[in-house]
C-alpha cells in the first residue's frame, strides 16, 4: 500500500500557490476586475457581430460609459469537409477570424490588439430547415469560442493597462 495522501498533497499545493505569485483573475486586485464593466464594445453591424458582442458583454459586463473601447472585425468563411458519392456536401466547417483592438477612450491609445481564430462544423445531411438551424448553431458556437479567446487575451493584457 502506498502512504501517499492526496488530501495532504492538495492542501500543501494550495497553500503554496500564493507564494508563487498566483492570484485569482476575478479576486481582489485581480487582472479581470480591471476590465469588469469598463470595456465598451463597438456597436455590432452584423448578426455575427451581435453574437460576439453579446458574449463579450456577458463575460465583462456592459460598460456605460466605459474606460476602454473594443473594436473588432469578423471574418467567417465556410468550406466543405465531407462530400458524398453523389457529389453532395454533407458536412461544412466554419472558419472564423476576429481582429480586435482595445483602446483607452481618454487618450485614444491602443492598449492591446490581436487576432483570434477558430472553427466549428455542422452537418448538412438533413432537411433544409435542419441544415439552416445547424449552421446558425455553429455560428453561435464559433462566436462564443472566439469571445472566450478575446476575453482571455484582454485579461492577460489588463495588468499592462493604465489604471
Note the pLDDT of residue 158.
Answer: 76
Is 138 in contact with 120 (CB distance < 8 Å)? yes
Note the pLDDT of residue 18.
Answer: 59
Note the pLDDT of residue 32.
Answer: 72
Note the pLDDT of residue 74.
Answer: 97
Tell me how far apart the alpha carbons of residues 7 and 23 are, in angstroms, rounded to a whole number.
Answer: 22
Residue in the block written with cell 453574437: 51
Note the pLDDT of residue 69.
Answer: 94
Closest Cα to residue 152, out of 20, 25, 23, 6? 25
Residue in the block written with cell 492526496: 6
Note the pLDDT of residue 63.
Answer: 87
Per-residue pLDDT of the chain (163 residues; tens, 9 = 90+): 556 667 666 666 666 655 566 667 766 767 677 788 899 999 999 999 999 999 999 999 998 888 999 999 999 999 998 888 888 888 999 999 999 999 999 998 999 999 999 999 999 988 999 999 999 999 999 999 999 999 999 998 875 555 5
DSSP state string for 55-107: HHHHHH---SS-SEEEEEEEEEEEEEEEE-TTS-EEEEEEEEEEEEEEEETTT
Q: Which domains does the chain have, with CATH numbers?
A: 21-160 (3.30.160.150)
The sign one gets for the Cα dihedral 113, 54, 130, 128 is: negative
Answer yes or no: pTM beyond 0.85.
no
Note the pLDDT of residue 89.
Answer: 87
Amino acid at each position: 500500500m502506498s502512504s501517499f495522501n492526496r488530501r495532504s498533497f492538495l492542501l500543501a499545493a494550495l497553500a503554496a500557490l500564493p507564494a508563487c505569485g498566483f492570484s485569482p483573475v476575478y479576486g481582489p486586485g485581480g487582472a479581470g476586475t480591471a476590465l469588469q464593466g469598463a470595456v465598451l464594445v463597438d456597436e455590432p453591424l452584423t448578426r455575427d457581430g451581435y453574437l460576439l458582442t453579446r458574449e463579450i458583454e456577458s463575460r465583462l459586463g456592459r460598460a456605460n460609459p466605459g474606460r476602454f473601447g473594443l473594436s473588432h472585425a469578423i471574418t467567417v468563411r465556410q468550406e466543405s469537409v465531407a462530400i458524398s458519392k453523389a457529389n453532395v456536401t454533407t458536412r461544412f466547417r466554419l472558419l472564423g477570424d476576429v481582429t480586435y483592438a482595445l483602446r483607452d477612450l481618454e487618450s485614444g491609445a491602443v492598449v492591446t490588439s490581436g487576432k483570434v481564430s477558430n472553427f466549428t462544423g455542422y452537418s448538412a445531411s438533413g432537411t433544409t430547415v435542419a441544415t439552416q438551424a445547424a449552421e446558425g448553431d455553429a455560428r453561435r458556437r464559433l462566436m462564443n469560442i472566439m469571445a472566450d479567446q478575446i476575453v482571455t487575451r484582454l485579461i492577460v493584457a489588463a495588468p499592462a493597462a493604465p489604471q
